[in-house]
């Protein structure tokens, strides 16, 4: 089985954020697909590769690094609601051993995804809830199914050297800021808490 190509490293995204954003400036239908190259037969038939959990997960990473709040929340909602069959626990291990910062960020993002999705479940909105709820009793009667982080994410070690992620305006947080993410701090990454919740 082929593995989805890894997203750009943090340094590349931050070096030219406008170039990175340009790839996502069109309608989501133009970029919500696998980045794997189609086979020769598929290229001949002009078949668009379907989307994959890893491709969406890597877009979440890019939007997070770029501090693109609207796209981040839209992609989280897309992963959660449009593909309830995509379990967070089943996201394949990126095996990103050559880029510890990117691997650490991907690790924490699985936890953030669980937090966002499980909050909805606690509110009585399972991942496959319809966009417009007409029968809250039916939803309340369903068993609550909570997401869990993938097994691989539990084994990723914190960074040896502290890393700082700036916001979209280039402002680098300090360790005394009040709005830092504790989840990222545990991985030795200093960054402001992203806006991950949606209803």
Which residues does residue 180 pair with via DSSP β-bridges, in sequence order? Answer: 192
Contacts of 132 (CB under 8 A, 6+ apart): none
**pLDDT, position 131:** 82
Indicate the pTM of the whole model. Answer: 0.93
Contacts of 9 (CB under 8 A, 6+ apart): 99, 101, 102
**What does residue 106 show for φ and ψ, rounded to 5 degrees?**
-60, -40
Question: Would you state the pLDDT for residue 198?
Answer: 87
Q: Identify which of 172, 166, 174, 188 has the alpha carbon closest to the alpha carbon of residue 107.
A: 188
**pLDDT given at position 134:** 83
Report, as ranges of residue numbers, the positions in the chain whose pLDDT lies below 70.
1-2, 38-48
d(C-alpha 58, C-alpha 43), whole Å = 23
At residue 45, the pLDDT reads 58
In this prediction, residue 44 carries a pLDDT of 58
pLDDT at 194: 96
């Amino acid at each position: 089985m082929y593995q989805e190509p890894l997203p750009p490293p943090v340094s590349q995204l931050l070096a030219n954020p406008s170039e990175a954003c340009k790839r996502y400036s069109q309608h989501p239908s133009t970029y919500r697909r696998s980045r794997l190259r189609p086979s020769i037969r598929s290229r001949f038939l002009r078949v668009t590769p379907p989307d994959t959990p890893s491709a969406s997960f890597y877009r979440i990473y890019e939007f997070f690094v770029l501090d693109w709040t609207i796209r981040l929340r839209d992609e989280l909602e897309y992963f959660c609601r449009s593909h309830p069959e995509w379990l967070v626990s089943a996201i394949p291990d990126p095996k990103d051993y050559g880029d510890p910062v990117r691997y650490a960020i991907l690790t924490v993002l699985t936890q953030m995804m669980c937090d966002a999705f499980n909050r909805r479940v606690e509110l009585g909105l399972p991942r496959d809830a319809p966009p417009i709820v007409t029968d809250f009793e039916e939803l309340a009667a369903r068993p609550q199914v909570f997401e869990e982080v993938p097994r691989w994410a539990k084994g990723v070690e914190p960074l040896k050297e502290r890393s700082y992620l700036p916001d979209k305006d280039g402002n680098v947080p300090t360790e005394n800021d009040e709005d830092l993410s504790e989840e990222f701090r545990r991985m030795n990454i200093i960054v402001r808490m992203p806006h991950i919740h949606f209803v």
